[in-house]
Structure 1
Amino acid sequence: MKHPHRLLGAALVSCALAAAGVGAGPAHAQENQLWISAPYETVLPGADPGGGARERSLAVQVSRDVADGSVPTGRLTVDISEIASFARVSWPANCEPESEVRAVCDFPGMPAGTESVPAATFGLRALPGADAGASGYVRYSAVAGEATAHPAETRIGVGNGPDLGLSQADDQHDLRPGSETSVRTTLSNSGNRTAERTLLWLNASYGLRFEERHANCEYREHPTGTSALCVLDEAVAPGQQYALNTGLGVGRKALYERFDHSVHPYSDEALEEMRGDWTWTRGTGAELDLHPVAAAGAAAADPDIDPQDNYRTVILNARNTADLRLTGSRVSGAAGDTVTARVTVHNRGPAWVASLGAGAAVATVRFQAPEGTTVMRLPEEDCWTSQDGASPTTHYCKTPIYLHEKASYTFEIPLRIDRVVRGARTTVATVNDDPELSIRKFDPNLRNNSARIVVN
């Protein structure tokens, strides 16, 4: 499925802290890997029409991979010398400035079981007259006990334009199939220019449905759900916020669902890009409108200066089940023949099954070659093998990441008959404990999750 949104995403800038020694007490390199985590990039709005500039916050954390042992209290050093010519910093109480461009921030230790701690959250604001396009790096280093961090950094830029964003709505669990719910979020503009019109993209997965199809939105059905493109004519001025409420029906087929939405300043080019080559159908219900609480500012056609908060995902899981069932096959042939055995995964419902976040297969099956046969070449993108010492080779094949209710997926397994063994057989079974998508959690009947391939 083509993603109709542009998403920079907030990557983590990480660096290792190495420590030597053994025994209890402070964390050791053998026990813990520590990281400094900060936004990869942020853009500061330039001056608004009134001459002021909005502040951005940078949150820095220290975390570790393994929460064993303890990490002592530490010190984070923040260097803003590269951005001092165009930005001003506001230091929090746990940071002590050493100079105009450098501060040291105390952060707490991590006792056993604690995976991360906040190190510092400080504010940045563009200086009056800062040039749009100016950029530089905020650089970080840290020490904790005898450990020293490798430097990390956040790129800081300045831009003029609207900065539309969506707040993150809460995930929802244990929804009842056949019920209704809604996703409530806040649309805001934290830039320094007005977005005269807004382009809103929505996507509800297959087990959900839009409760209303608005006349200023167009809709497209696809195998994993329904997408909508809406053009909102109300101006969104800097500093304004608007409630956005999307009503959703939870279908009888719902299980692992998600709702995605994003906002962008409107342009004809952006709309055409999101439409792509697909066919869209306009809704017939009441228009979806925004009602600003303050007057809009001057017109602007600038792009969004920082799209990292334009896109959000909400998980909506339903209290439902799906019964997977395997069927095998019987094949026959002479020595030297290559025959094709088939194994089919059936979804008997009532729910569809999809891994739309992790992208895991609905089912992975494992099997070994029946006696007297050899498994020939399997598709590399879907299958792999595992050899454990003298044990027979085990083969694994996976389905796609979704399987609709009452649908099935068939694997074709080529077998070369090396010698004829009457009634040779092997068992094919699903792997029920994949951590990304556990069959055991949604399938009420695991007894029918295996089948046989019988040769001759």
Structure 2
Amino acid sequence: MSSVSVGRVLRRGVCAGAVGALVVAGLGNGAAFAADVAQSDQLWIQAPYEQTVTVAPDGGAAQYRSLALGLYHDNQNFTVTDGRLTVDASGLAGVAEVAWPGNCTPNDAGTVAVCDTGDVPTRYSAQVQLKVRAAAGASVGAQGAIEYSAEATGGPDGTLVAPQGSAETFVTVGSGPDLGVSAPQDVTGVETGTSLTVPFSVTNTGNETAHGFSVKMWATYGLDVVTRYPQCTYTGPDDSGQYTPMTYVTCSFDTDVAPGATVELPEPLRLAVTDHALYERFDYEVQPGGGATDLDGSDNNRTWRIDADNTADFAVRGTEVSGAAGDTVTAGFRFVNRGPAWVGNVSSGDPVAVIDYYLPEGTTAVSVPDTCRNAWTSGDDPAIGHYACTLPMWAKPDLKVGFPFQLRIDRVVADATGRVVARPDYGTSFAFDPNSRNNSAKVVVNPTA
């Protein structure tokens, strides 16, 4: 489900990887491709666009920071091996220095290395772990750049090459606190009615003390924040239907976090998994207090995904109306979430459901709800109108939404039957729905019985 609180979006790599993953998911095993259609593939470099290193103390060496790098490609129908990532750190002269891992072979100057990444996946994973630290004598604000190039064996032509200039990392010397929160492990199959402890600790990897810290938290509708700290304010969830139903928490703690120290919250942070939980997420973010700027925001935000063992019964209900030729009748339908769970596409923002309405024969829509659009395609019967209606990105239990179409009866057809079908925005069925039979209904104009 989609981020409520996110850090800096990388200029390259992550977005391309997400798009690539979607494309690959639709490719399957390649059977759908016609024999005469050439397939393509592309190699990509994943590297952070920015990296801050702490200034070296007087007379001492600076602290190393990790820099995770990797290669990935787009098309899972190809096997791609022997990845070779060239890392050019010559642009860091006088600013920072690199410690090369065992899978990198540097040149004599130690500024450029070819790193063996092995087999190349279609989803990014860190295959090279550099260590970078500020050079002795480099002042705060000094900046240099690492450039990359890469190639691998495989793809439609036997060799894949990453686009030139597609990745670089700007390394800046800084000073200050650098707070980060521990990364949680996503959980699935959680029973409703149970409680969970958030793995929440704050570590300062900077070179200055954080004098206090602030915390923000967001919990989706199926989670209750049980632990209440006097240092926090709690709002939500919103029940008006105007906003996504979430609980928002803002906190300010006066605990100092020294360089290298890890601190916990005053007591464990507990969440309750409610009876209406399904696809949940808990987001949290930490920032240093006292107006200080965090050196590296990449580990300040975390998302914990919690999937409950629950169901939601989506159903649609049709109607029956009668009229003479030339009459306009209300011949719509209704959607209802019978629960017990809510469903929310909080991460993607996609509609929680799309409802296709194929009009009864002999009718024309003269008034259409605002959330519906003409969806006629070349595969439809040209004599039958087809509309697609969308719901919001979430549906609470007992949500009822009516779609009051106004239809003109152009000609009277006995038992003219329209079809209403609820489906996901992507795909054909709801994985959480225990009763697919009521995902469709009929709208009948001039029933005979």
Band of TM-score, shorter chain: 0.7 to 0.9
2:110 pairs with 1:97: no
Residue among 11, 18, 33 paired with 2:42:
33
Structure 1 match to 2:277: 254
2:398 pairs with 1:406: yes
2:80 pairs with 1:71: yes
Residue among 149, 157, 166 paired with 2:162:
149
TM-score of the superposed pair, with normalisation by structure 2: 0.81
SS at match of 2:200: strand
Task: Please provide the CA RMSD for this pair.
Answer: 2.9
2:197 pairs with 1:182: yes
Identity of aligned residues (%): 40
- C-alpha separation in 1, matches of 2:336 and 2:380: 33
Residue among 419, 427, 443 paired with 2:433:
443
Amino acid at match of 1:40: Y
Structure 2 match to 1:84: 93
Amino acid at match of 2:87: V
1:293-339: CA deviations, max 9, x gaps?
Answer: xxxxxxxx421122121111111111111112211234455555555
CA contact (8 A) 2:354 2:425 kept: no
Q: Structure 1 residues 77 and 316, CA, compared in 2 at 3 Å: closer, same or farther?
A: same
1:22-72: CA deviations, max 9, x gaps?
Answer: xxxxxxx83533222222222222246885433222222111222234324
- C-alpha separation in 2, matches of 1:154 and 1:104: 16
TM-score of the superposed pair, with normalisation by structure 1: 0.80
- C-alpha separation in 2, matches of 1:83 and 1:334: 81
Matches within 5 A, 1:414-425: 414-425=406-417
Amino acid at match of 2:162: A
Structure 2 match to 1:278: none
The worse-fitting range, judged by mean Cα deviation, of 35-44 and 162-171 is 35-44
The worse-fitting range, judged by mean Cα deviation, of 355-364 and 230-239 is 355-364
- C-alpha separation in 2, matches of 1:314 and 1:433: 24
1:96-125: CA deviations, max 9, x gaps?
Answer: 222342112223135xx8766754221111
SS at match of 1:400: coil
Amino acid at match of 1:398: T
Structure 1 match to 2:344: 354
Amino acid at match of 2:8: L
Aligned length: 405
- C-alpha separation in 1, matches of 2:96 and 2:366: 63
Could you tell me which runs of 5 or more consecutive residues in structure 1 were left unpaired when the two chains were aligned.
17-28, 268-300
Amino acid at match of 1:79: D
- C-alpha separation in 2, matches of 1:360 and 1:200: 28
Structure 2 match to 1:204: 219
Q: Structure 1 residues 105 and 409, CA, compared in 2 at 3 Å: closer, same or farther?
A: same
Structure 1 match to 2:23: none
SS at match of 2:277: coil
2:289 pairs with 1:266: yes
- C-alpha separation in 2, matches of 1:231 and 1:34: 44
Alpha-carbon shift at residue 386 of structure 1 (Å): 4.1
- C-alpha separation in 1, matches of 2:368 and 2:230: 49
SS at match of 1:222: coil
SS at match of 1:82: helix
- C-alpha separation in 2, matches of 1:445 and 1:247: 33
Residue among 113, 130, 134 paired with 2:138:
130
CA contact (8 A) 1:187 1:242 kept: yes
Could you tell me which runs of 5 or more consecutive residues in structure 2 were left unpaired when the two chains were aligned.
18-37, 154-158, 239-244
Structure 1 match to 2:22: none
CA contact (8 A) 2:352 2:424 kept: no
Structure 2 match to 1:281: none
